[in-house]
Amino acid sequence: MDLSGSSVLITGGASGIGAALARRVAEKGARVGLIDRDAAGLARTAEALAGAETAVADLRDREGIAAAVDELAGRLGGLDVAVANAGIATGGPLRLVGPDSVEDTVEINLLGNWRTARAAIPHVLARRGYILIVASAAALAPTPGLGAYAASKAGVEALGRVLRAELAPHGVAVGVAYYLFLDTPMVSGGEQMAAFRELKGGLPGPIGRTYPLEPAIEATVAGIERRARIVAYPRFVRPMLRVRGLLDSRLGDLAARSAVRQMETTFSQEAERVGPDVAARVPDRRDL
């Protein structure tokens, strides 16, 4: 796919992966449409992108996100690519976190990405284009303390794989993206949470590292240009897809068990101070 002159829709365009991806595809000559609930952040991203179109919408609002996608597709003259990227992160033991934090995570990450894809499909179908659904490496190896996030991203992965099969006969390619911890406001916000720092620090070797954003964006752009089935960064995430059964094993459970008690204690202390829903929510840049 030649991105020059193409129309690319990206959700979560106010910061992080969405904003960086928007800048890179714009450099490639694409016209960009951005959706986010953060109006100020969205305006900052679009300000540096010639011809960028924006719409403020919340992924929890089915009608609102559908209207935003249709509006941007109209302004851009159609859609060649749609990237369902927006999402949130929450953390904490599932038996201790507030139910609202779990349900909001699933609502935004899974149902929000489904709403985005559903609204974009007619426009991408008309161009026989490409849809990229952003899941996570957390879908491959669910980690204690990231239960709601991992469950939502596993659902996102399944959504993308089903859409891939269903849309292939119509000439639309669908990819699923898997990233580890990237240097984004979401991850830096998580570092403000003691429980998150503990669980991340306890992950083995390269899995617990924070990786620079730019190489991940380059891998993503290359994936879009190839209409790739899989986008993965860092590179060793791709082999993890092949051995995921080994990751979901009794040995993996035993390896995680040692960190759970301390994480529960840390989370309980924070939840007592601010409440279980607030304690579970990863702060974003506006909260810091």
Look up 211 and say whether it is catalytic. Answer: no
Residue in the structure block whose two tokens are 């506006």:
286
Q: Rounded to whole angstroms, what are the CA distances from 44 to 23, 142, 275?
A: 12, 34, 33
List the structure tokens of 48: 């540096």
CB < 8 Å & 24+ apart, contacts of 5-8: 5/29, 5/30, 5/31, 6/30, 6/31, 6/80, 6/81, 7/31, 7/33, 7/73, 7/76, 7/77, 7/78, 7/79, 7/80, 7/81, 8/32, 8/33, 8/79, 8/80, 8/81, 8/82, 8/83, 8/224
For residue 139, give the nearest of 241, 51, 62, 215 by alpha carbon: 241
Angle, in degrees to the nearest 10, between helices 39-47 and 16-27 = 20
Of 149, 178, 179, 233, the active-site residue reads: 149
Active site residues: 149
